[in-house]
Amino acid sequence: MNEKPQYQIDTLAVRAGQERSQFGEHSEALYLTSSFVFDSAAQAAARFSGEEEGNVYSRFTNPTVTMFQERLAALEGAEACIATASGMAAILSTLLSLLKSGDHIVAARGIFGASQQMFSNIMPRFGVTTSFVTGSAPVSFRAALQPNTKLVFVETPSNPLTEVFDIAALADIAHEVGALLVVDNCFCTPALQRPLDLGADLIIHSATKYLDGQGRVLGGAVCGGKVLVEEVFKFMRTAGPTLSPFNAWVILKGLETLKIRMQAQSAGALDLARRLEANPSVARVFYPGLPSHPQHTLAMRQQATGGAIVAFEVKGGRAEAWRVIDACRMLSITANLGDVKTTLTHPASTTHGRISPEARAESGITESLLRVAVGLEAVDDIEADLLRGL
């Protein structure tokens, strides 16, 4: 009778983590406060020493941020979650809390541009090196392992080419040498894919994307087992890339509609991908939900849908790709994704513009490639906008 009910993900998305104050508010409260007061000197001391649980200062914990962390942890099936100021802060906090000089990372070549830069430009200054693996074949990852490999890092599906990585196979490979598998779950979110269930050790989120879903705030999170997340928390609490309570509140409310948004946006993406594939002006479409995608079978096993990101190559080069962008009247020309408003990006000159041309070529990001992050508009209208310049 006293056992806690086990709720399904739809229920957790709107209920998990809510802590009501003395006022009994129905909606989650926004606690805009930098610090907290104590009843006595003794209580202050007990809070600081950790003898008594409770909030001290919002760089450490804040009730609104805690509600967001608990809700996201529930959705990911994680023991713990720590929120960060952005997705990149989540990656940086993970690297700096778990690695030391002399350690080695194996990362997929096809990852977010700033993540690539973090691994190749920033971490080497602290003695942490990275081997990049081209393609998604698990054997290539095994071949890149070194005795000092501590972390294997992938994004699946990847940005912008929607390459799909076999999470269960990569977890086994990482664990063979005692390394951790870290999965950036930005593109799928827990509404479509739960990496921890497949053997991953940690999940990275850019909450800026689908978790908020309406392009309002920056945020990030790291989810996983208690022990690892506690290490990340200790770093973050001291170093300071904490999520603001306001942003946490916005994203917390965003989680309530995450699943229906992901389902609707995925359905729109599949429809658009089919239409683009049938269009003679389109050279190639990259979408995991299409049977033509090289890892379609794996994607359908690992994810609930193909996701909401469609990439495609126009016939021609940069001029032809830019013409499609410049002819649009509705789609938002922006580097962001994960919004209910459809966004259109030319990765080679924006998100992936700062990585070396060689690395870009190795990742398969050509000048003719465009990325559409499908929102909630009618697919007819999205297609019509793209057709103006195609």
Ligand X SMILES: *Cc1c(COP(=O)(O)O)cnc(C)c1O
Considering only residues 171-200, where is the footprint of ligand X by CB under 6 A? Answer: 184, 186
Contact between 155 and ligand X per CB under 6 A: yes
Beta carbon nearer to ligand X, 99 or 114: 114
| Smaller CB separation from ligand X, 86 or 136 | 86
State in angstroms the smallest separation of the CB of 218 from ligand X: 5
Tell me, residue by residue from 241 to 260, as one string, x for binding to ligand X by CB under 6 A and - for no binding: --------------------
Largest CA distance in the chain: 74
Q: Exactly one of 63, 195, 220, 306 binds ligand X (CB under 6 A); which one?
A: 220
Residue 112 binds ligand X (CB under 6 A): yes
210 is an interface residue for ligand X by CB under 6 A? no
Residue 76 as a binder of ligand X (CB under 6 A): the answer is no
- Candidates 208, 247, 265, 295: give the one binding ligand X (CB under 6 A): 208
Q: Of the candidates 218, 222, 223, 369, which one interacts with ligand X according to CB under 6 A?
A: 218
Q: Toward ligand X, which CB reaches closer, 12 or 207? A: 207
- Closest residue by beta carbon to ligand X: 87
Contacting residue, 72, 73, 88, 98, with ligand X by CB under 6 A: 88
C-beta closer to ligand X: residue 71 or 371: 371
Residue number with CB closer to ligand X (47 or 364): 364
Which of 61, 62, 66, 86 is in the footprint of ligand X by CB under 6 A? 86
Question: What is the 3-class SS of the chain, one letter each residue?
Answer: CCCCCCCCHHHHHHHCCCCCCCCCCCCCCCCCCCECCCCCHHHHHHHHHCCCCCCCECCCCCHHHHHHHHHHHHHHCCCEEEEECCHHHHHHHHHHHHCCCCCEEEEECCCCHHHHHHHHHHHHHHCCEEEEECCCCHHHHHHHCCCCEEEEEEECCCCCCCCCCCHHHHHHHHHHCCCEEEEECCCCHHHHCCHHHHCCCEEEEECCCCCCCCCCCCCEEEEECHHHHHHHHHHHHHHCCCCCHHHHHHHHHHHCCHHHHHHHHHHHHHHHHHHHHCCCCEEEEECCCCCCCCCHHHHHHHCCCCCCEEEEEECCCHHHHHHHHHHCCCCEECCCCCCCCCEEECHHHCCCCCCCHHHHHHHCCCCCEEEEECCCCCHHHHHHHHHCCC
Task: Indicate whether 217 belongs to the interface with ligand X (CB under 6 A).
Answer: no
109 binds ligand X (CB under 6 A): no
> Binding of ligand X at residue 266 (CB under 6 A)?
no
For ligand X, which is the closer residue by CB, 66 or 351?
351
Does 363 bind ligand X (CB under 6 A)? Our answer is: no
| Part of the chain binding ligand X (CB under 6 A), chosen from 6-14, 17-25, 111-119, 123-131 | 111-119
Q: Report how far apart, in Å, the C-alpha atoms of 209 and of each of 53, 187, 251, 309, 370 are.
A: 32, 8, 10, 12, 18
Is residue 303 within the footprint of ligand X (CB under 6 A)? no
Site membership for ligand X, residue 347 (CB under 6 A): no
Closest CB to ligand X among 146 and 336? Answer: 336
C-alpha span between 44 and 83 (Å, rounded):
24
Binding site for ligand X (CB under 6 A): 86-88, 112, 114-115, 155, 159, 184, 186, 206, 208-209, 218, 220
